[in-house]
Structure 1
């Protein structure tokens, strides 16, 4: 398991498995943030978060424009006073196995599997930092 995620505790990981819409923040080429709602799945063992999307989206374009130095992104979710943010470096995956796996993980978290889409890609985020408050006391 990723030490970054493990250090946050079990409640934090459970929070990332509950049904919540999230936001993805990418950086436009001019430096301004681009924030959009997304569904996110987290693989704590691999230390990655994944977002499925269409290859023509602005978020994909922003990530591709940041290459080869890497695209810094943030994924966030909020539920009342509970919140969580994951930061890391994103890459775009297009191979069929990666897309199929991400779609299956999305279906497990969100209770529905999206229809097949030949334009679908995966935003794969190598998690470097995790922060938040997943319990209320």
Structure 2
């Protein structure tokens, strides 16, 4: 996941790619419309916009669908969720410890249950555990 996370944030580091994401966040867009809109905002060639779309696709932030000779781009929810989860972890640093602590709580409870249901033992003078006489 670290490699894909690095790719995601590397892709997000460019303002043109962030702008493209804003365009496709509103819904699926044809590649031609994305190129025209981006070129109206920035001095960039059509191949330059195509390269930005490729970086976004490789990072898992957009998906592409072919329909004949046309390409349609849409936001890839999984890539966005990966970035959001990482960012949310910054705000809640203990979030990563939640699952191990839950597991520890389960093991403690299991140990208490086992202690209640185990046969009572008595310790000898040497410290050896023996079943209690009953």
User: What is the TM-score normalised by the length of structure 1?
Assistant: 0.25
**Relative CO higher for 1 or 2, CA cutoff 8 Å, sep ≥ 6?**
1
Q: Which has the higher strand share?
A: 1
User: What is the TM-score normalised by the length of structure 2?
Assistant: 0.25
Which of structures 1 and 2 has the bigger CA Rg?
2
